[in-house]
Amino acid sequence: MSMLKCYSLCLRDSAYQLPHHYGVNNYRRTCVEDIKSLRLITAIKTPYLPDGRFDLEAYDALVNLQIINGAEGVIVGGTTGEGHLMSWDEHIMLIGHTVNCFGGSIKVIGNTGSNSTREAIHATEQGFAVGMHAALHINPYYGKTSLEGLVSHFESVLSMGPTIIYNVPSRTSQDIHPRVIHTLASSANMAGLKECVGNDRIKQYTDNGVVVWSGNDDQCHDARWDYGASGVISVASNLVPGLMRKLMFGGKNPSLNLRLMPLIDWLFQEPNPIALNTALSQLGLVRPVFRLPYVPLPLAKREEFVKMVKNIGRENFVGEKDVEVLDDDDFILVGRY
């Protein structure tokens, strides 16, 4: 799609309206179609300094490695990035920082969802104001709401710009019913759905023209090649982005998929991002600092990771340092930051 055509579609379809004094060169919004075309999106890790503040130098290195190895987008401040452990000031700052440093090379999707519609609206306004290309929105958790309430909640944020809705009932305790998604699908800003329920649900959507990304690394190969998913929003690609890109772009590859299963299983033996944080520390890419309530995997599991890196090949993992087991005393747990 040409830039001019993309611009025209944005003006025609998006609820966002330009002030009259704006010209084409001032228009920085990303078209929904640009988001729909993404195949590999990494839910990027947020690293910390020993006092618990963001380690932006390490963060920049992680994002740069994603770009070099072919990821097309990053989710900033998602579950993997521990957005739920951030203040909103931290959250929006990190989205803006990512756009400022990398927005020309990779799509920046800010997690601005909340169980409070008011907070979701405010955070999304701020996220688009600092330049994010799209928003990620979860359904209201804990308190939950009715199906009609879900539609109203999502409609309140869809008007602002390209949006991916995220369905992960294992965390929210409420499945987003397909009726909700089909109601929202006609919105010009509905980019698609990150779906964690499974591949049968994915096929139900893709058969009806809804763009879906698999939210499960262990199912994403089959989701992509057998069930019509556009791609994956991945945790594993933090570690092996090149292999995950091959899985999403290289055609059916059951042997590579099988090769990655031990790593993927290891990553999700405890609630994400515990294992990922541990692994990136062992690879020397981030300081071994954990914001509580997360704590590192125990020694035996860290030893398993060292063996997996050797079996898959160190060259396939991000970074250049030798993988280490690390001692328990190497880890720093931060409760106040």
Catalytic sites, residue numbers: 166, 194
DSSP reduced 3-state for 65: helix
Q: What is residue 110's three-state secondary structure?
A: strand
- Say which residues have a Cβ less than 8 Å from residue 274's Cβ, sequence separation at least 6: 294, 295, 296, 297
CA distance 113 to 138: 5
Residues 310 and 288: their CA atoms lie apart, in Å, by 21
Closest to 10 in 3D by CA, of 139, 101, 92, 128: 128
Cα 118 to Cα 124, 157, 238, distances in angstroms: 10, 10, 32
Q: How far is CA 274 from CA 82, 271, 295, 318, in A?
A: 10, 6, 7, 18
Strand partners, 320: none
